Each structure stands twice: as structure tokens, then as C-alpha cells.
A and B are shown apart, each in its own frame.
Chain A
């Protein structure tokens, strides 16, 4: 599903994050990217999302080499990938409903289908009664849930979540991780960047550990995800 082959990334200021990243994430896996602050977790997600270009190597998404993807083809790639951003990127003057609906409007969904899909999504993320509120009226955990709902609205094959538990209390963090596990259980490949190991340690997820530009896989990232309590329910 996601493959990095000898990927290097050096920024314009000369800072080099990776020189030779190699790993593979299989479909329907739930993988955590771990690493200290500044290790390059967000950069890795942005590379997958084609928000930035690798300096060297090759990135393959769903069988497609995206390394030299034309700018005009980037939107199509992004339709396959949902992104729950670290800074949420919710539009402040739009309600919860409008923010989530935006992802579907981009894909030209019909209004009736958007309504149906949104009702389901809001139920899934537990915000059915907050559809008409604005982001500023929500708590941190609720904002994160809206962000996740928007990311999965179009049923992408891949969900990228950048520090989804950052700045959240332990209980809320657990609920967010459980939500991501639930989404993964529905067949979505989930890649989560996180430095908060406590929040997901109960799930025994596959790990990609970035340390000083090198990758170390833990819990065998290329093997099927170990079943979690939540998955057993499905």
C-alpha cells in the first residue's frame, strides 16, 4: 500500500532528515510512526501526502510511483488519502457539518449522499449533537474527532493522523486511538505519527521508529496487524 524505497529528504536550509528510508506498509495495517521531536514523523506523512518532495528515492502509494507525480495529478492522489492534521486545519467560519461536508463536496458528492454520509460519520465520531457548532465551540478532543471525520469522509484507502493525541488528556487520547482502531477495523490503512506511546500501548500496534534519520520497525510493520480488543468485536 505504502512503500518507501531509499527515500532521502534534505531541506533547502541544508538540514537532512533522512538519507535512505526503506519500509513498506501493507493494506489495512495500523502503523504508528514514532520518534522524538524533530525526528521527521510529520515530514514522513507529508511525503506520503505529496505535500513535499523527497530529495532522493521513490515513494509508491497503492502501486503508483508518486515521486514524480505531476502537480495536476496531486488532487487525485489526495482523494485516496485522508489526513488528520496536527493543527487540525478546520475552517473556523464553517460549522462541524460544513467542515466535514467539504471533503465530500470536493469529490462532487450529491447533497443527499453528503447528508447520509455525514449523519453516519457524526455518529461514528460521537458528535451527532454538535453538527451546527463552530470549531471554536468544541473541546480539543472534539476538534480532533471532527478532523478525523473529515479525513475519512470520502472513505479513503489510507488515513494519516499526525499526533492525533497531542495535548489531549489520557482518557480523550484513548478514545481517539480507539476511534482510529475502529476506522482501521473497517478496512482503512491507518498511519499515525505519535510520540505518545501510552495512548496506544494497549493495542500492540506495528511501529516504525525514526531515529536520527534511520528507520527501525518494531512489532514487524510488514506483518498483519495484531488483533486488538476492538477488532475482535468486528
Chain B
């Protein structure tokens, strides 16, 4: 209790130093928070696309579930697929019906004109790979099968958005790496700023500390107010930065939500934001404790 009171007194008695630390830490925590959110959203986007069927191999007209089963088994044996689904001609027609929705003109091609029937639609295999890295192997395997139809340009009729998912994966990895690097650099910067400022405060109280030592004060009695001071400043800064991050997220949700519809729900639920707050506060706690301790330890060693 005494240490907390002393820490509060120290903060009040050196207001400009305290404000400087808080501002620097708020900026750092805010940037770190934004990067965390971006990484989280990128990861969710990637998971969304990875969860979709990634390879569609169109089959020859006489392909039946029985005939296609050996190919499915062969694909499964590779251990590289997550899911594989046979879509029959009837299933394809149903998918087409769903996709046209209420458009009377397109719906008429099925119901009135009978132009679109199950016969003219190809059956297919929808495959989800465990990783986009495995697309090539799976596609090569499909290319060897006579059950996979040929396209008009004399190629096997296989759709796979290789470049899109690969690029998304690359972007997510890059964002994650950049995020971790930036958070690490900001963490070190914050620690150094706190170390220097707390060190200045300790140095400012050199005479008092010497007196306390002479009066028989132990290390903890002297050190805890400084450690608590830096910890309180870090926790406060982290909280304010979180509030700013949350506000920025709410503000940008209106713009981002329609663009990420179906991929990521915006605004981010409060429970997830509270989780981010928890992680940030934990980081602030560690930051404050370590930098405060280092500052006083450097002085105590003299």
C-alpha cells in the first residue's frame, strides 16, 4: 500500500516525465494493437479462403460415383487433402438454380425453356487441400486421370485459384512477420524509454535513496515504488491505447464491413477486443516490471 502511494506521489511530482512516457507508450501500444488486429483479420480471411473448395476438377459425362471412387481414394491416400466431394450433374443443376435466385429470365432457362438441364452440366470433384502448397501435386494427379474432362483448349478442365490463395498466404505470413517485428521493436523502444525515464527519476531521488539506505531500508522498500510507478504508467498507457484501437476499429467498421462481408464480422466482438486488452495489459505489466526493476537495479549496484 505504501509503495502504491509513493508511486502515485512520484508520478504527480514529475508530471512532465510521466506524461512523456505515457504518450510514447500509447503510440507504441496503439500501433502494436492495430497490427495485432490486422494480423487477426488476415488470419481469419486466410482461414475463410482455405475452408472453401480450392480445386474443382470437371469430370467426363459418363463419370459415376462408382467410377470416380478409385480416384477419390487415390487423392485421400496422398494425405494432402482435407475434404473431397463428388458433385453430380443433378447437384450441379441445383447449385445453378440456387445461384440464379429469383431472376425470372435465368430461371426461365430451366423451367420454361428447358435450355439448362442436368445433362449439359458436368459433374465434378471439389477438393480442399490441407495447404495451398499442395495444389500442384493434387492437380498433377488429377491431370493423369481419364475421368477428368478436357477443356476446349485441350487442357484438363481443372479450376484452382492457386495464385490467389498463395498470395493471400504470402501476405498473411508477411503481415505476421512484419507485425511481430514491429511489435518487438516497439516493445524494446518502450522498455528503453521507460528504463531511461525511470532511471532519471531514480537519479533525481539519489539523495533520498541514500538516506533510506542509511536508515536501514531494505532493497524492496526502496525499489518497489519505482517498479510500481513504471508498471502503473505502462498499464495506464496500454489501456488508453486499447481504447484508441477499439475506437479506430469501430470508426473504420462502416467502411470495411461490406468489403469483408462473409469473411470477417465487423465490428470485432467486445469479447475478442477484451482478449486483446488482456494480452496488452499483460505485456504492459511485464514491460513495467522489467524496466522499473532494471532502472533501480542499475542504480542500486553503484
Evaluate whether A93 and B13 lie within 8 angstroms (CB atoms) in the complex, with A51-B214, A106-B216 already known. yes
B13 contacts A102, C-beta separation under 8 Å = no
User: Is A130 part of the contact surface with B, judged by Cβ < 8 Å?
Assistant: no
A88 to chain B, nearest CB (A): 9
The A interface, classified by DSSP as helix, strand, loop or mixed, is helix
Find residues 57-96 in chain B having any chain A CB closer than 8 Å to their own CB. Answer: none
CB of A104, distance to nearest CB on chain B (Å): 10
Tell me the smallest distance from the CB of A94 to a CB of chain B, in Å: 9
Interface check B208, CB cutoff 8 A: yes
User: Is B259 an interface residue when CB atoms closer than 8 A count as contact?
Assistant: no
Q: A91-B208, A105-B2, A106-B221 are in contact. Are A79 and B216 (CB under 8 A)?
A: yes
How far is the CB of A154 from the nearest CB of chain B, in Å?
8
Q: Are B215 and A103 in contact (CB under 8 A)?
A: yes
Indicate if the CB atoms of B212 and A106 lie closer than 8 Å: yes
Q: Is the interface of B mostly helix, strand, loop or mixed?
A: helix
Would A78 and B215 count as touching, CB distance under 8 A?
yes
A75 CB within 8 Å of chain B? yes
Q: Does B211 lie at the interface of the complex (its beta carbon under 8 Å from any beta carbon of A)?
A: yes
B218 within 8 A of A: yes
Q: Is there a chain B Cβ closer than 8 Å to A83's Cβ?
A: yes
A134 within 8 A of B: no
Contact of A89 among B2, B13, B214, B217 (CB under 8 A): B214
Chain B residues lying within 8 Å of A106, measured Cβ to Cβ, are: 212, 215-218, 221
CB-defined contacts of A75 to chain B, threshold 8 Å? 213, 216-218
Residue of B nearest to A99 (CB): B211
Interface pair A102/B214, CB less than 8 Å apart: no
Contacts of B218 in A (CB 8 A): 75, 106
Q: Which residues of B contact A102 (CB under 8 A)?
A: 212, 215
> Which residues of chain B (211-253) have a CB below 8 Å from chain A?
211-218, 221
A129 to B208, CA, bound (A): 25
Report Cα–Cα, A75/B212, bound state, in Å: 10
Give the docked Cα–Cα distance between A91 and B208 (Å).
6
B174-205 CB mask vs A (1 if < 8 Å, else 0) is 00000000000000000000000000000000
Total A-B residue contacts, Cβ distance less than 8 Å: 38
A145 CA to B208 CA, complexed, in Å: 19
User: Is the C-beta of A4 less than 8 angstroms from some C-beta in chain B?
Assistant: no
Residues of A66-97 whose CB lies within 8 A of B: 74-79, 83, 85, 89-91, 93
Mask of A12-50 contacts with B, CB within 8 angstroms, 1/0: 000000000000000000000000000000000000010
Closest to A74 in B: B216
Q: Are B216 and A89 in contact (CB under 8 A)?
A: no
Q: Closest approach, in angstroms, between the C-beta of A1 and any C-beta of chain B?
A: 18
Bound form: Cα–Cα A176–B63 in Å: 112
Residues of A within 8 A of B211 (CB): 89-91
Instruction: Tell me the bound Cα distance from A90 to B211 in angstroms.
Output: 8
- Chain A's nearest CB lies how many Å from the CB of B113? 93
Nearest chain B residue, comparing its CB with the CB of A102: B215
The reply to whether A49 and B221 form a contact with Cβ atoms under 8 Å apart is no
Instruction: State which of B2, B207, B216, B221 has its C-beta within 8 Å of the C-beta of A78.
Output: B216
- C-alpha gap A51/B13 in the complex (Å): 30
* Cβ-neighbour of A49 out of B207, B208, B214, B217 (below 8 A): B214
Q: Is the CB of A78 within 8 A of B208?
A: no
Report yes or no: A78 in contact with B214, Cβ–Cβ below 8 A.
yes
Contacts of B208 on A, CB cut-off 8 Å? 91
A127-B185 Cα distance, complex, nearest whole Å: 55
A residues less than 8 Å from B2 (CB atoms): 105
User: Residue on A with the closest CB to B208?
Assistant: A91
CB distance from A151 to the nearest CB of B (A): 9
Q: A77 — which chain B residues lie within 8 A by C-beta? A: 216
CB distance from A227 to the nearest CB of B (A): 32
Bitwise, B1-17 to A at CB < 8 A (1) or not (0) is 01000000000010000
Q: How far is the CA of A91 from the CA of B213 in the complex (A)?
A: 13
How distant is A165 from chain B, measured CB to nearest CB, in Å? 21
Residue of B213, B214, B215, B218 ringed by the most chain A CB atoms within 10 A: B215
CA distance A91 to B211 in the complex (A): 8
Additional 12 contacts, C-beta under 8 A, given A78-B214, A91-B207, A150-B215:
A51-B214, A74-B216, A75-B217, A75-B218, A83-B215, A89-B210, A89-B214, A102-B212, A105-B221, A106-B215, A106-B216, A106-B218
Chain B interface residues toward A at CB < 8 A:
2, 13, 207-208, 210-218, 221
Q: 19 A-B Cβ contacts within 8 A? A: A75-B216, A75-B217, A75-B218, A76-B216, A78-B216, A79-B216, A89-B210, A89-B214, A91-B208, A91-B211, A93-B13, A102-B215, A105-B2, A106-B215, A106-B216, A106-B217, A106-B221, A107-B216, A150-B215
Q: Which 9 A-B residue pairings sit nearest by Cβ, starting from the closest?
A: A78-B216, A89-B211, A75-B216, A106-B217, A75-B218, A79-B216, A91-B208, A103-B215, A106-B215
